[in-house]
Amino acid sequence: MGLIDFVRDAGEHIMDTVGVVFGGGEAAEKKAAEALVKSVHALGIPVRDLSIQVKGDVATVSGTAQTQADREKVVLAVGNTKGIAKVDDQITVEKKEPEATYYTVQRGDTLSKIAKAHYGNAMKYPVIFEANRPMLKDPDKIYPGQNLRIPPQ
């Protein structure tokens, strides 16, 4: 997939909980990578041999996912973390499937509004919600700057 852009100052603050200060050097980057791996594992997204390396505000992820959806969820889980601006996706997929598109949430967006724009039907918001689980816990809790998976119809 390559390099995917994210909003650096949007997202979960998992780095703060482990005391990571970006720009803090190699030790801080190693700590950030460990926190990101723990975060992905906590979400239960299955990726064999998951490895994450952080250099500045770029996270490189590698490993093997069974599905394209799992691959994309790992990328989103890592990229939607405060302090990460880009994710270099090096994950391989066992079962080839069509790729989803990514959408960056804007102020005033709802999943219904996003579904209407992408699928022509606001009532298809559950498709987007399910495509972004387990990162999304509630369809009403999205935030500006967050990237979401929009699966193909």
CA 134 – CA 153 distance, rounded (Å): 20
77 sits in which H/E element: helix 68-79
Considering Cα of 69, then 13, then 89, then 30, what sign does the dihedral take? Answer: negative
- Closest of 84, 73, 68 to residue 16, by C-alpha: 84
Mean model confidence pLDDT for the chain = 90
- DSSP, res 134: T
Distance between CA 18 and CA 35 in Å, rounded? Answer: 7
Helix (H, G, I), strand (E, B) or coil at 9: coil
Domains recognised in the chain with CATH numbers: 2-95 (3.30.70), 101-150 (3.10.350.10)
* Residues in a beta bridge with 57: none
For residue 41, CA distances in Å to 10, 38, 45, 90, 117 come to: 21, 5, 6, 17, 32
Q: Residue 113 has what pLDDT?
A: 98
Report the predicted TM-score, pTM, of the whole model to 2 decimal places.
0.86
For 11-36, how does the pLDDT look when each residue is reduced to its tens digit (9 = 90+)? 666 655 444 555 568 888 999 999 99
Structure tokens at 43: 């979400």
